[in-house]
A and B are shown apart, each in its own frame.
Chain A
Amino acid sequence: MKFLGWMYELPISYWIRESTWGHPIMLCFHAIGMAVVVGIVVMLAIRVATGWPKGLTAGSFEPLLRLAQIGFVMNFLSGLILFMANAPSLTLNWTFQIKIVLIILGAVLVWWQSRVLIGTPEKPGSEAVISVPTRIIAALTIVCWIAAVVAGRYIAYTLQKVFL
């Protein structure tokens, strides 16, 4: 609790809480980052889970996953700043807790998928062949990330402010 209090007292946390633009600007970064990460991850997972659309080689995953990583870093940073501004309340908030668990789980599932796919030997122009367990992982990935988005939205409805 002491550490949470320290974060809460930082000047940047104060700026997020008290200024007119601090909070909305950070939410803007967080929204764009969300669209990049969840967008890319879901596109790849749809292809892996369903096999549609045909015509994707395993090598295509790499540049897209790098892009998703950039979005993830952006959201980790903007999320961290938003968290610090309300650290005690968010730590106690159940939707926030669920969101964080879903993101960790979602990230592990993406990493798992990528390890299988990028390791797949590839003939130029050949279709990525995907096993059933990997397809199931991809379907779970979609569920996880969509649920994380929904949990994130509900923080606004369930957050009870804890004042220090």
Chain B
Amino acid sequence: MREFFFWMRESHFGEYMRDQQWAFSICESIHFIGVCLLFGALLVIDIRMLGYARKISIPWALKLIPIAIFGFAINLITGICFIFVDPFQYFTNPVFLIKMGLIVLAGINAIYHEVACKERICALPEGADTDTRTKWIAGISLLLWTLIILCGRLLPQFSIEG
């Protein structure tokens, strides 16, 4: 792993990300836009799954999932670009490791929703309340993604190197 981190840091791309401030700042901007797309789509879906805003049709809300995946994808890519700057700085930062752990949990939660709940809640009549299990999944999803944003925002405060 150590060798891999060295390779990342010493690569042309790593050097480029360190030297070109505009490249880093553009990645940051795109990362923020990704946050908005991911969180916005999930907010609409999860609010409805919590049983609020029942005028929203559940099948409609679920059609926003590709936007959430798109937001996640651009954040994954820009996130990897940040790590190239200095992998050691990220992987020695406890908040970064917590953030990664929370993202994995959010992913498991989303997959569980996909296999265990999606079909059932799509079959609900318009304006119907959702079941307790669905509400739990939606609540956990919102909580996890909120914490993930907070961890991201607090990363610099917990950075050990620099």
Question: Residues of A with Cβ closer than 8 Å to B?
Answer: 20, 24, 27-28, 31-32, 34-36, 38-43, 46, 52-57, 59-60, 62-64, 67, 124-125, 145-146, 149-150, 152-154, 157
In whole angstroms, what is the CA distance A62 to B63 when docked? 19
Query: In this assembly, does B126 line the interface, its C-beta being within 8 Å of a C-beta of chain A?
Result: yes
Does A125 contact B126, Cβ atoms closer than 8 Å? yes
User: A55-B57, A60-B55, A64-B56 known; A39 and B154 CB under 8 Å?
Assistant: no
User: A55-B63, A154-B25 known; A63 and B56 CB under 8 Å?
Assistant: yes
Does A62 contact B67, Cβ atoms closer than 8 Å? no
Q: How large is the interface on B (under 10, 10 to 19, 20 to 34, 35 or more residues)?
A: 35 or more
Does A39 contact B43, Cβ atoms closer than 8 Å? yes
Does A39 contact B40, Cβ atoms closer than 8 Å? yes
Work out how many contacts link A and B, with CB atoms closer than 8 A.
109
Does B39 contact A63, Cβ atoms closer than 8 Å? no
Does A35 contact B149, Cβ atoms closer than 8 Å? yes
Q: Report the minimal beta-carbon distance from A45 to chain B, rounded to whole angstroms.
A: 10
Does B43 contact A36, Cβ atoms closer than 8 Å? yes
Query: In this assembly, does B111 line the interface, its C-beta being within 8 Å of a C-beta of chain A?
Result: no
User: A39-B40, A53-B64 known; A63 and B153 CB under 8 Å?
Assistant: no
- Secondary structure at chain B's binding surface: helix, strand, loop or mixed? helix
Does B157 contact A24, Cβ atoms closer than 8 Å? yes
Can you list 7 contacts pairing A with B, beta carbon distance less than 8 Å?
A: A39-B38, A40-B43, A41-B40, A43-B67, A54-B63, A57-B57, A153-B32
Cβ-neighbour of A32 out of B40, B67, B149 (below 8 A): B149
> Which residues between 92 and 138 of chain B lie within 8 Å of chain A, taking CB atoms?
126
Q: Report the minimal beta-carbon distance from B127 to chain A, rounded to whole angstroms.
A: 9
Does B25 contact A46, Cβ atoms closer than 8 Å? no
- Contact residues in B for A52 (Cβ distance below 8 Å): 63
- Contact residues in A for B21 (Cβ distance below 8 Å): 157
In whole angstroms, what is the CA distance A59 to B63 when docked? 18
Nearest chain B residue, comparing its CB with the CB of A122:
B55
Does A60 contact B53, Cβ atoms closer than 8 Å? yes
Does B44 contact A40, Cβ atoms closer than 8 Å? yes
| Further pairs besides A34-B36, A53-B64, A63-B55: 13, Cβ < 8 Å | A24-B153, A31-B149, A32-B149, A39-B39, A39-B41, A43-B41, A43-B67, A53-B60, A54-B63, A55-B59, A56-B60, A60-B56, A67-B43
- Contact residues in B for A149 (Cβ distance below 8 Å): 29, 32-33, 36
Does A42 contact B37, Cβ atoms closer than 8 Å? yes
- Which 8 A-B pairs have CB atoms at the shortest separation, nearest pair first? A39-B40, A53-B63, A63-B53, A55-B60, A35-B39, A38-B36, A60-B56, A59-B55
